[in-house]
Each structure stands twice: as C-alpha cells, then as structure tokens.
Amino acid sequence: MRSRKLLSVLLLLLMPMRVLAVTATPVFVQTPKLGEAQVLNATSTVAIASNAASATGTVTAYTCGANGSKIVGILAGSTDTSAMTLEVMVINSSKVYVLTIAAVPAGAGTAASTPPVNVFSSANTPGLPIDSDGNPFLYCASGDTIAVGVITTAVTANKAVTALVFAADF
C-alpha cells in the first residue's frame, strides 16, 4: 500500500514535466528582410469598410513569412511639399487592424533638417512590447501583411510617401 502511494506521488510529479516539455533549442529569426512601399498620387486616401473587412487606398509594405515574422521598425519619409498622415495597418484573414497613424512632415527623410519618422516610437505606437535590447517590436503571423496609406490628403503629383519595414522571418 505504501509503495502504491509513493508510486502515485512520483507519477503526479513526473506528469507535468511531460506535459510542459519544451525544446532546449531557442528559436531565432532566420532571414532579415526589408519591406518597401511608396504611396503615390495615383493611390487614393485610405478608406476602411465599416465592418473592417477591407480597405482601399493601401499599399502592401511587408508580407509576413510562412513561419511568422518579427517587425523591428518602420520608417516613413516623404518627398511631398505638404505634410501627410500615414496610416499603418495589419491585414489578416480579410480583416483590417489599424496599428497606428503617424504625422509625416513635408520632406521627411529627404530634407537635411527633417529626419524620417520612426513609426515605432512610443509617441506614435504606444504599447508595443519591448525586446531585450529595449526596442519595440511586433510579431506577425503567416498570412499577415503590413499595409500603409495616407489619410485626409492625397499625395501631390510626382511626389511619394514611403515606408520602410525592417523585419526578419522565422
């Protein structure tokens, strides 16, 4: 009887180890990537359907990898002489999820006195997780796309608003 109780206790102690077993090999991103998008005059301003099932006026900036991706930064620039508002969205399974909007000054990243806009700054995208280096990031799943577009004002003819997505696929 005593050996049966001891066996039961041992089994209870060992069972969680089997259920919670994990690999000793860490998973790291494998392939660094750079996504690029240009919002041109021919691209209309963003319009998201009332049920968030679709959006028009967007440009795909990045398509997440087959095993997911880690987005570590997005920079926005502009050759336009007018300030723009860039909307950044995650699109998955025919649903549009607005990540943030960021003000992009005229000439951002193309004029010496106006740097590009860090879309992942805490002012533009608060609440993103922070990695071990202190940098914000976003995981995206297979099938996700990062899309961008301008809202309220169309881009001037022969000008562009650009977005660079710094990422790595798993």
pLDDT at site 27: 75
Give the list of residues 6+ apart from residue 158 with CB closer than 8 angstroms, or none.
41
Residue 66, both tokens: 């087959």
Q: What is the pTM of this model?
A: 0.81
Coil/strand/helix, residue 135: coil
List, for residues 100-115, the tens digit of each pLDDT value: 999 999 999 998 889 9
Residue 28, both tokens: 């790291």
CA-closest candidate to residue 41, choices 125, 150, 128, 145: 150
Where are the domains positioned within the chain?
A: 29-169
For domain 29-169, give the fold.
Jelly Rolls (2.60.120)
List, for residues 123-142, the tens digit of each pLDDT value: 999 999 999 889 999 999 99
In one-letter notation, the amino acid at residue 6 is: L
List, for residues 17-65, the tens digit of each pLDDT value: 444 455 677 777 888 999 999 999 878 889 888 788 888 899 999 999 9
Q: What angle do CA 142, 144, 150 make, to 5 degrees?
A: 160
pLDDT at site 45: 87
Contact by Cβ (8 Å): 132, 76: no
List, for residues 76-93, the tens digit of each pLDDT value: 999 999 999 999 999 997
Give the list of residues 6+ apart from residue 59 with CB closer than 8 angstroms, or none.
37, 38, 39, 43, 147, 148, 149, 163
